[in-house]
Chain A
Amino acid sequence: MSRSRARHHLSSPLGVVTVVLLLLLVATAVVAPWLFGDRATQIAGGSLQAGPSAAHPFGTDALGRDVLARTLVATRLSLVLAVLVVGIGVACGLIIGTVPVVLGRRAGRAVVAGLNLMVAFPGLLLALFLAMIFGVGARGAVLSMAIAFAPSFARLTHTTASGVANADYVSAARLLRVPRWRILTRHVVPNISEPLVVNATSQVGAALLSISALSYIGFGVQPPQYDWGRMLADGLPAIYTNPAAALAPSIMIVVAGLAFVLAGELLTQVLGGSQHGHLRMPSLRFPRREPAPAETPPPGDEVLQLERLTVTVPGETAPFAPVVDVSMRLRRGEIVGLVGESGSGKSLTAMAAAQLTSYPNVADADVHRIKGNELRRMRPRDRERLLGTSLAMVFQDPMSSLNPTLKVGRQLAEVAETHERLGRRDAWRRAVDRLSAVLITDPEARAKQYPMAFSGGMRQRASIAMGLMAQPALIVADEPTTALDVTVQKEVLGLLRRISRETDAAVLLISHDIAVVAENASRVLVMYAGRVVEELPVSGLAEAAHPYTRALIASIPDMSTDRSRPLANIPGRPPHASDLPPGCAFAPRCARADDRCRQERPELSDSGGAGAVACWHPLLPVLESEA
């Protein structure tokens, strides 16, 4: 995977430019001193500080030496110095930055305090000060720049390292009594190397600039040695008579600096900083199907009608569809459960049903009606209004729908102000009323609080109350109780049931827990690998026809499970949506599967009872006599 990704990035325009520039620079650094070494020191009599000519494209310097040759030869020294600065700086930074992780708490704090002091001190000032101490010359310049650069790199190292040091796998290693240095070399350093490598690479460009600056002001490289900064200093006094002599080293400094910054950028992408860069996006046009003609007027009590919903998402090699041909109809006052394991596509289905799919994911359906209105035939404004007033969404994490910086009552009131143009006071009154409807005690006072002051269960109730600000005909609840404790879960689910009963709203209840659905819904859709594999009334769950549904039910331990026998489970793992088998997706885990199952995919069809099943060998209902 990472190899193909690297190739992809290297063949991009940025990649090609960067690699070519770097190769040219390195080649020049290696070859130029051999080829032009003599020319660069040869003193041409008579043509001191001459302008460009055929023999000297960038003219000559004060001693009559060829500027172009000198610039090319100087590449080696300039690059070596810059790389040395970063190399020494990185080495010091790594040690200072990782040592606090290994040391005890107190010694670690002392190092960090020292580090903070160093970071606060301006780098250039430090470098100049150190250059005085080390004395002028290339060695002094490199050491002072490296020491000036080390603190910021140490800070970066320390920040990333302390994140990793708190990871569970480091705790596990500590419990296994893995020696400290080994934790550092095997667990911490490998996991922080990516950002550090990226940073160090782009810092080479900055170091090049700084070293050139030091040489330019006379602290760095001393004659007869020369680097680009030194040459710039030599060429600048004659800028009016011979600009080319200063131009040549300046161009090289800019080009080399740019090359390293680009290299840092490229590394970021190759090492996985950018997620979208290497994924194949679904086309916005290709799957778009025409909305079906509105020939069959839907029954008056149908709140949601979804036919053949497909959701396409970006993939490594090609876009793929984690949701395929999902159809459902919800009537007023009905609670329908949508069950599936992680990766089955249930949440993508929920988001698509609420028209919340956003690019790069693309949802498409033959029919998508809410209260009889085909959404795709509506003007965007009308559609938004319809969705805003008749649909409510409840998420797993209530904080994702509550703004932590707004008072709860204010957020709720806003819904009515936006969609129903209610006055501020009326909207607030309704917010308090809805908070009391979801059984929040003392709603007047609670409305004036921020979400952080609410417990998990109260937040979820407040987010349900937000959905109730309009009169929703459809509530889509995506794992509404997964983040809650069991005792609170019962309350929140009871609340959803009561709302559905009292306001006649339909509820699409999405859960990974079939027991939660069985206790609260009247009908169940079971999803596996992006498709609905069975649809049945809750009363029929015990006699489910699909082997997956039965196995899923059997795998849940309850308070009557036989403790002396092994727990039921489903062998294997669900397939990834980008790599589905040709036949039934459940076949590899199914005891009843045969060749047909492995080659041909069964369609959802009437299962004889009140449901539908997609299986070549459905289980028969348990007969009365057997039960």
Chain B
Amino acid sequence: MLELRDIVIRYGHGQSAVTAVDGVSLTVAAGSIVGLVGESGSGKSTLARAAVGLAPLASGTILWKGAALDPRGRPPLQYVFQDPYASLNPRMSVGASIAEGLPRTSGRRDRPARVTELLEMVRLDPGDVHKRPRQLSGGQRQRVAIARALAAEPEVLIADEITSALDVSVQGAVLNLLKEIQTRTGVGILFISHNLAVVRYMADSIAVMKSGRLVEHGTTEDVIERSTHPYTKQLLEAVPTMTMGSGRS
């Protein structure tokens, strides 16, 4: 399992330094989905990027099964980026992108079969293997990005706002897929979103971040129904609902 302990992340030097993440501890157990909510600038993406080494730590430790991560070995963590229009190399075919994730120990001959298997897992037509990203819709691209991350057989997947660049009508399909994969493979997921309704649907437990600090952390039920922190309550109230015309007097 993934354990983040007292993580501090700072940007800049000297007096102008900004503390993006301030002493956050968070654990993602195998087979669970941990939701991380917060508004822009709350540090939730920075924390996630630090977990995979894309942002430098000022202090704190990242533990994998109780030991430090080996920077050279096969990474147990993978990351799915927010914008599927930027996270796929426009010059590489879908198949080549996914194959890049496959462990290098896997035989050269098995690779096409594994790619097909992964495409089927994310509900894409295996015939799409030669397509370029620009021939795919946003939802399809995000599936390719998920397949690429899964190819590396991670034990924890970090999903950073993976549906916020997508239309609502396809958001559901991508979220269903992620949940289904989680049940099937038992991969742990750190699910980051600004949308509390989406996090509530996806996660077993929820962590709420504000201004770089963790303000509340508990099971989804506890956080949604018995939230203790005023900021969580404020977030809950702000979720738009389809109770028509309730906002007007």
B176 partner residues in chain A, CB cutoff 8 A: 566-567, 569
In the bound assembly, the distance between CA atoms of A368 and B201 in angstroms comes to 45
165-211 of chain A: CB within 8 A of chain B? 167-169, 171-178, 186-187, 190-191
- Residues 555-609 (chain A) with a chain B CB within 8 angstroms: 555-559, 561, 563, 566-571, 573-574
Q: Which of B47-95 contact A (CB under 8 A)?
A: 52-54, 72, 74-75, 77-79, 81, 83, 86-92
B43 within 8 A of partner (CB): no
B168 touches A341 (CB 8 A): yes
Task: Determine whether the beta carbon of B168 is less than 8 Å from that of A552.
Answer: yes
Q: Which of A234-242, A349-357, A485-493 is the interface stretch?
A: A485-493
Q: Does A520 contact B (CB under 8 A)?
A: yes
- Interface: A522 (CB within 8 A): yes
Residue B1 is within 8 A (CB to CB) of chain A in the complex: no
Question: Is the CB–CB distance between A573 and B139 below 8 Å?
Answer: yes
Q: How far is it, in angstroms, between the C-alpha of A575 and the C-alpha of B67 when the chains are bound?
A: 50
- Chain A hits for B81, CB < 8 A: 168, 171-172
- Interface residue? A218 (CB, 8 A): no
A480 to chain B minimum Cβ distance, whole angstroms, is: 13
Q: Is B181 an interface residue (CB 8 A)?
A: no
A186-B89 contact given A555-B168, A569-B169, CB 8 Å threshold? yes
Question: What per-residue 1/0 map shows which CB atoms of B220-249 lie under 8 Å from chain A?
Answer: 100010000000001111111111111110
Of the 9-residue stretches A91-99, A387-395, A426-434, A510-518, which lies at the interface with chain B?
A510-518
Assuming the A-B contacts A341-B168, A493-B247, A552-B169, are A557 and B197 also in contact, with contact meaning beta carbons closer than 8 angstroms in the complex?
yes
Identify which of B79, B145, B169 gathers the most chain A CB atoms within 10 Å of its CB. Answer: B169
Stretch at the interface among A45-53, A110-118, A138-146, A534-542: A534-542
Chain A residues positioned under 8 Å from B74 (CB to CB): 177
Q: Are B89 and A191 in contact (CB under 8 A)?
A: yes
CA gap between A494 and B243 in the complex, in Å: 16
Also in contact, A169 and B197, with CB within 8 A (given A177-B74, A555-B169, A559-B224):
no
Q: Is B75 touching A177 in the complex (CB atoms < 8 A)? A: yes
B10: interface (CB < 8 Å): no
Give the CA-CA distance A167 to B91 in the complex, in Å.
13
Which of A174, A489, A557, A569 is B238 in contact with, Cβ under 8 Å? A489
Q: A497 an interface residue at 8 Å Cβ cutoff? A: yes
Query: Does the CB pair A542–B244 fall under 8 Å?
Result: yes
A519 within 8 A of B: yes
Residue interface mask B190-226, A partner, CB < 8 A = 1: 0000111110110000000000000000001000100
The answer, yes or no, to whether B175 is at the interface (CB within 8 Å) is yes
Q: Note all chain B residues with C-beta closer than 8 A to A555.
A: 168-169, 171-172
Cα A178 to Cα B97 in complex, Å, equals 11
Task: Find B198's partner among A456, A551, A557 (CB 8 Å cutoff).
Answer: A557
Structural contact, A569 and B88, CB atoms closer than 8 A = no
A569 CA to B245 CA, complexed, in Å? 24
Tell me the complex Cα distance, A404–B170, Å.
36
Encode B160-190 as 1/0 by CB contact (under 8 A) with A.
Answer: 0000000111111101100110000000000
**Nearest CB in chain B to that of A187: its residue:** B89
Task: Give the residue of B54, B151, B172, B220 whose beta carbon is less than 8 angstroms from that of A569.
Answer: B172
B100 at the interface (CB under 8 A from A): yes
Contact (Cβ within 8 A) A515 B240: yes
B143 within 8 A of A: no
- From A560, which residue of chain B is reached at the shortest CB distance? B241
Residues of B within 8 A of A494 (CB): 247
A553 interface residue per 8 A CB criterion: yes
Q: Which residue of B lies closest to A569 (CB)?
A: B172
The 7 closest A-B pairs by CB, nearest first: A569-B172, A567-B172, A485-B39, A515-B240, A570-B169, A168-B87, A519-B247
Q: A176-B148, A486-B195, A569-B169 are in contact. List 6 more A-B contacts (CB 8 A).
A: A168-B83, A171-B81, A341-B169, A489-B238, A570-B170, A573-B170
Interface residues of A (CB under 8 A from B): 167-169, 171-178, 186-187, 190-191, 341-342, 456, 485-487, 489-490, 493-494, 497, 512-516, 518-520, 522, 538-539, 541-542, 551-553, 555-559, 561, 563, 566-571, 573-574
Query: Chain B interface (Cβ within 8 Å of chain A)?
Result: 39-40, 52-54, 72, 74-75, 77-79, 81, 83, 86-92, 97, 100-101, 137, 139-140, 145, 148-149, 151-152, 167-173, 175-176, 179-180, 194-198, 200-201, 220, 224, 234-248
Q: 13 A-B residue contacts at CB 8 Å?
A: A172-B148, A172-B149, A176-B101, A178-B100, A191-B90, A486-B39, A486-B195, A486-B239, A490-B238, A558-B242, A559-B196, A567-B172, A573-B137
